Each structure stands twice: as structure tokens, then as C-alpha cells.
Structure 1
Amino acid sequence: MIIRHFGVNIKDKPDGLKLTRDNYIKVNNKTYSNVSIDRINKHKEDCLFNYDLNMRYFRLLSKQDFNKELINFISKNESFKEVSDLAPFSNVSGYYIMVFDEYSQAYVGQSSKIKERIQSHWSKQKDFDRLIFGGKENSILSIDSFRAYDTTRIFVSPTTESLELEDDFINLFNKKYILNRTKGGALSGLIEAITNRKVRDL
């Protein structure tokens, strides 16, 4: 079934278009066929422990303060405009902010194809072995664990200039409201991502 969300088509998922504890983890049996059941179950346990910590953390945040933070950011960065339709941003380069009002969180990204990039966030299921990035006590939930209906607002800043400001935009937010798990900008690989990993006290 095809559903319209922010002006574009997305596929409905059998387990829903909002993140839940039940759809958070998906294990590909073929990929992990050589991994012991005990090891898989231990990692599931750790992932759910981290999920629960993150959800508790979100519940403690003030939605009013989060909205003030977002308004403050937009007032200082007027190139970002709220959009309700992503269709005009197909193959358009620039920055974007995905807002998750239920969780008082935002994600700052950059792409040469804004619409397509946001749709890819919605369609992905984060790999089982990458759900935790850091320790189970401090790992931030991945943007690719959230689902289409979790995104409640989108702001975009199209530009044809080189995309070098993502990390600056991330750092303008109070870190307690940001889902980015590493610094912004192009990273050369996993080692650089780990070196620049962002964690939070959950």
C-alpha cells in the first residue's frame, strides 16, 4: 500500500510507520546464520536496554523548551524554511532538518538529493549490529530507526555551494535535542565515524 507523506509516496510497512519497541529490531537470519543464538539474544537484550533508556530520556525533555530551541535556530539561520511537500526538492542539493516532536529531537543532514535522502531515512531498517553506536548506556538512537510518521516537521536550506556547514549547524543546537550520532560532513569511513562519535548521558 502506498501512502502520501510530506507530498511524496512511501510504502506502508506491515509493522507500522512509527517506531515502536516491537519493530525496533529486525534480525536477518541469513546474515547472522553463523552467529550463536546466545550472542544474538544478548545483543537484542542490550539493544532493548538502550532503546528503553532513550525513550525515558525523551520523556524527560520539555517539548516547550525543544520548540524554543528550534525556533531560535531557524531565526538565526533564515535560509532554512519549513516545507510540507518534498517533491520540489528531488535532485536538489542542500541541508535539511527532520523534526521529531514526540521525542523533542531533531536531525541535521546534508545531501545532493534532499527528497531522496529523507525518503531513504524513512525506508531503512537499521542493521542489527549497528543499533548501538557506543555503549548500551549512552548510544543515541539512529535516525534510520525512526519511521516516516515519526517525522512531524521538515526544514530545508537548498544550496548549490559545497556542503561544508553541516557540523556547524549540528553544533548550534543544544546537544540534548540532536539525534546525530557523529559529526557532520563527509566521513572517510568507520574509524573516523567512531573517532567523532557523539554519545549522551542516558
Structure 2
Amino acid sequence: MFKRATLSAAALMVAATPILAAQATATTDLNLRAGPGPEHEIIGVIAGMDQAEVNGCIEDGAWCEVTYDGQTGWAHRGYLSGSATEATEVTTTRTVTYMKEGGNKEAGAAAGAVTGGAIAGSLIGGPAAIAAGVVLGANAGSEAVPEPETRTVTYVTENPVEPIYLDGEVVLGAGIPEDVEVYSIPESEYSYLNVNGQDVLVKEDRTIVYIYR
């Protein structure tokens, strides 16, 4: 069981005067996790182009505590934009520390081991590049990725594979490193794997084109 994040000493000084949570836009459908890292449980999804309140971010880290639709959790700051039209990573003057049971501080992101094994690498492309493409596509009214055939969905759900943990967040357009194994699907143009606890479909160039939610 994890305790709620607490403000750092520096943040407490900032909070001496009233301060509103920063508003940020999710540049793509973005997982809301129970803690600051890809190993933590997904407790919700911030819809792409929706706004969330940023309560604070881990100093020099990739994760922010946010509130969306009445639920508070953690989201990857690389996909939180200060604007609905620009993929500029959100910044905040408030910092938070994540306190595990017993008082251990967690930096989130790539530090330490995770459930199922240590983080094996990073998703390719980078949040800024992916988010920029998503924002531009959304503004241009681009079509969503087609729903895969039922037999493809069924095959993946009936043939589970061990998860691989990669630094970053599972979003459309992210690339899978070459040294990570992907699994073929009979009579399908896609392969699949489980990244950070989520089954995904990837095309031949190893980019994620569909996320099982």
C-alpha cells in the first residue's frame, strides 16, 4: 500500500502563498498510474487532448502527480503539454516526493528494479517527438488507428507473454528497441508483446499501433 505523495521542503516554501494546480493537456491517450513509474498499476486513462490538473512533479524526474476526472494518480510529464496546440513538456514550480510505505523515497522512472524484472531499455522516439506528431495529427483531423480484426485480438488475449519493462509510457507511435523480442500473430500484419503491463500490437517497423485497454 502506498502513501500519498507529500510536498518537498522546497515546494512547501512555494506553497506558503495560495497556488493553483497547473492545467496541462494530454497530447495522446495517457495512462494514469498508481505511482511514478511504468511498473505501477494503471488506474485510469487521460483522454488525448483532455486537460488534467498537475499537482506537482518529481524534481528532475519524468513523472507528475495529476488529477483527472476526480481521480489522482501519476502521468508521464513528456506527454503533458502546457497547450492544446503545442507539444511543449509541462513545467511546474511545485515538486513532490513519492513516499513508499516505511518512508522510502522513489524517484520513479528508470530507477531500481520493477515487478517482473528490471527496466530493459527505453521506448524509441521520445515523448516530445511522438507528442508533437499526435498533436499535429489531432489538429489536422487524422483518422484513428483501425480496430484490429477480432481473431487478432483473441489470439493476443489467449496467448499471454511475459511483460517487458521499458522507460517511458505506452503510447501510440512509440518504438520498441531492436533487442526486445516481439511475437508473431498467425495471418496478421502485426506482432505483439506486453510492455509495462499492457499488451500492444506493433507493425513491421516496431512502432506501437494498437494498445489493449
Q: If the length of structure 1 is used for normalisation, what is the TM-score?
A: 0.25
Structure having the larger proportion of residues in strand: 2
Which structure carries more relative contact order (alpha carbon 8 Å, separation 6+)?
A: 1
